[in-house]
């Protein structure tokens, strides 16, 4: 079932209105949108809605939102520069003793592995540090895993967050 949105679409698999009904293993939702900074709110709402539907707490949702904001902003600003292309954001829940939420970002822009960039030296003053890299560093710290691959002409960045009980 496709639910049209402007300017992208949401594809719910396997063909139901709420992708995470019954919390099936491997059930996923996908958003396709233009990789433009003006679509950041749409992307965040998409991911946040999926996290809420899966029962993630406020603290973890905030952490994931920060990571999503950083990653999508980088795609919007650098993947197709100076042109614009599409970005796909896929959310998937993996059931287990503790549910795991998987978010996959896909774009067809310039190949770039953000994990190859060295972590910033936080012992240096801000003025002494090299510009860039702090957002990806923060994302690596907030998420449980982060992996990158380039396949079939696409950048694929996968982040995961294990569900925790809120105290």
pLDDT in tens, 113-127: 988 877 666 666 767
Q: For 28-50, how does the pLDDT look when each residue is reduced to its tens digit (9 = 90+)?
A: 899 999 999 999 999 999 999 99
Cis omega (within 30 of 0) for bond into 79: no
pLDDT at site 3: 41
How many structural domains compose the chain?
1
Q: Say if CB 11 and CB 30 are below 8 A apart.
A: yes
User: What torsion, rounded to 10 degrees, do the Cα atoms 35, 36, 42, 45 define?
Assistant: 80
Handedness of CA 27, 45, 146, 74 (dihedral sign): positive
Longest dimension (CA), the chain: 52
Q: pTM for the complete prediction? A: 0.81
Is 167 inside a domain boundary?
no
Q: Is 123 a domain residue?
A: yes
Give the CATH number, domain containing residue 78.
Answer: 3.30.565.10
Cα(23)–Cα(51) distance, integer angstroms: 12
| Residue 98 belongs to domain spanning | 2-20+27-162
């Amino acid at each position: 079932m496709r639910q049209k949105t402007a300017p992208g679409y949401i594809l719910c698999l396997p063909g139901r209105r709420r992708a995470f009904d019954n919390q099936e293993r491997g059930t996923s939702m996908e958003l396709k949108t233009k990789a433009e900074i003006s679509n950041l709110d749409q992307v965040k709402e998409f991911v946040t809605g999926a996290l809420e539907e899966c029962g993630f707490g406020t603290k973890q949702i905030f952490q994931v939102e920060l990571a999503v904001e950083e990653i999508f902003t980088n795609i919007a600003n650098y993947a197709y520069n100076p042109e614009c292309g599409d970005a796909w954001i896929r959310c998937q829940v993996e059931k287990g003793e503790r549910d795991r939420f998987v978010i996959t970002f896909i774009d067809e822009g310039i190949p770039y592995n953000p994990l190859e960039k060295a972590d910033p030296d936080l012992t240096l003053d801000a003025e002494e540090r090299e510009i860039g890299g702090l957002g990806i560093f923060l994302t690596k710290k907030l998420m449980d895993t982060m992996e990158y691959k380039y396949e079939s002409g696409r950048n694929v960045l996968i982040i995961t967050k294990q569900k925790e009980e809120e105290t």
